[in-house]
Amino acid sequence: MMFPIVDLRGKPFERGRMHGSLARQRVECSLANYAKLFAFCGLGWAEAQRLGATYRGVIGELDAGLLEEIEGIAAGAGRGVDEILALNARTEILPPKYLGDPGECTAIAVRTAASATGGTLLVQNWDWVGAQRDALVVLRSRDEFATLTEAGMLAKIGFNRHGFGICLNILRSSDDGKRPGVPVHVLLRALLARSGVADAIAFASKLSFGGSSNVLCADAQGGAASLEFSPKGLRVLEPESGTLCHTNHFIAPGTEGWQAALADNLSTVPRLELARAHAAARPKLGLEDVKCLLRDESAGILSICRHPDRSLPEEAQIESVASVIMELSRGVMHVAPDIPSRAEYAQVALEAEPVVQ
């Protein structure tokens, strides 16, 4: 079943109130799942909220409207603002060891010259704890942006009316969590207001960050780049060919020494190699080609299409909770609301209702 689509309108607080009210049950699911996940990491929910509250000033300084929207989400869902702040800063306040171990997400940008559709493609398998699938929503502001995200959070994977799109790969450095900086999920929403890749790079270059991530971005004009950042700064990786792939470790020049130690069970390196090989095997990639990549199960539990490892604790069982293909020149994204090998993709546009394919 396709994830709920929440249409937002009005000023920031009203947008947030609509989000919190219309997706209230899914916000509750997000909060329950993260309280459990924080506890698994040895962090009580009260402490998680205290840490989340430390990001209030950073968010307000970046964009007062986004802070108002967070306050609106809390009001609409009938929850405390610090709880919603903890959700939006979850990457920064989760202990680095947890997110550093399982790895998550494979993303690829296909520039116009390498696309069989004639337009830029931006695709991702979003790998995370399976219970959070029940908390996912599509937030849509008609004629502005659409994003697949976790209820209660401002944004994640999405695109905007300019034909600019973003994906996310969590990274980990040894400097994460040492001081507050712009939370990645707040950054993602701010980036959805940019006009293209060059604008996004210029915007992000002025910021400081409390944690590490990579934003793989692309635009309808054929631009693409990986924006890798940590508390040490931002580095940009541009494609050397028609495609640009990314998983969950630093690869941009100038990031030497940033990477936290990779755990033995981390699949980020083989997943990146597999994605690159798949992209290089075809002169041009179409929708069916990228669906084939996103559904690849050739490496078992370490595949691009990921099933949970039942030998691990429930909180550490990572799987592909959703899969997204964005056609940036058309202004649509195709969303598989499950492990993509067992789900069909539904089309979501800024104006139209989803169409199952």
Give, in order, the Cα–Cα distances in Å from 263 to each of 99, 248, 257, 312: 10, 12, 16, 14
Neighbour tally for 149: CB within 10 Å: 26
- pLDDT(142) > 80: yes
- pLDDT(122) > 90: yes
Q: Residue 143: exposed, middle, or buried by beta-carbon count in 10 A (0-12, 13-18, 19+)?
A: exposed
E strands along the chain, which residues? Answer: 5-7, 106-110, 121-129, 136-141, 145-150, 157-160, 164-170, 213-219, 224-230, 233-237, 243-246, 318-327, 332-336, 346-349, 355-356
In CATH, which superfamily holds the domain spanning 102-356?
Answer: Penicillin V Acylase; Chain A (3.60.60.10)
Reading the block at residue 297, the tokens are 């199960």
Residue 78 — left, alpha, or beta (φ > 0 → left; ψ -120 to 50 → alpha)? left
- pLDDT(354) > 80: no
d(CA 64, CA 71): 11
d(CA 212, CA 247): 13
- pLDDT(139) > 70: yes
Which DSSP helix (H) or strand (E) runs through 271?
helix 268-280
CB 267 within 8 A of CB 320: no
Length of the chain counted residue by residue: 357
Which percentage of the chain shows pLDDT scores above 90?
Answer: 85
- pLDDT(349) > 80: yes
130-144, 171-185, 207-221, 275-289: segment of lowest average pLDDT: 171-185
Phi/psi at 69 (nearest 5 deg)?
Answer: -65, -40
Question: pLDDT at position 305, please?
Answer: 96
CB 107 within 8 A of CB 167: yes
CA torsion angle for 75, 79, 84, 87 (degrees, to 10)? -140
Give the residue extent of every domain in the chain. 102-356
60-99 pLDDT, tens per residue? 999 999 999 999 999 999 999 999 999 999 999 987 655 5
Mean pLDDT of 222-248: 97
Confirm whether pTM is higher than 0.85: yes
- Looking at residue 356, its amino acid is V
Question: pLDDT at position 312, please?
Answer: 86
Question: pLDDT at position 96, please?
Answer: 62
Name the residue among 249, 341, 331, 265 with its Cα closest to residue 302.
Answer: 265
Residue 45 — left, alpha, or beta (φ > 0 → left; ψ -120 to 50 → alpha)? alpha
156-212 pLDDT, tens per residue? 999 999 999 999 999 999 898 888 899 999 999 999 999 999 999 999 999 999 999
Mean pLDDT of 231-250: 96
Question: pLDDT at position 205, please?
Answer: 98
Name the residue among 206, 262, 198 with its Cα closest to residue 229.
Answer: 206
Residue 254 — left, alpha, or beta (φ > 0 → left; ψ -120 to 50 → alpha)? left
d(CA 269, CA 248): 8
- pLDDT(265) > 70: no
Question: What are all long-range contacts of 78-81, with beta carbons under 8 Å and residues at least 24 apart?
Answer: 78/20, 78/24, 79/20, 79/27, 79/31, 80/49, 81/56
Name the residue among 225, 209, 212, 204 with its Cα closest to residue 171.
Answer: 212
Half-sphere exposure of 224 (CA within 13 A, CB side): 25
Question: pLDDT at position 17, please?
Answer: 98
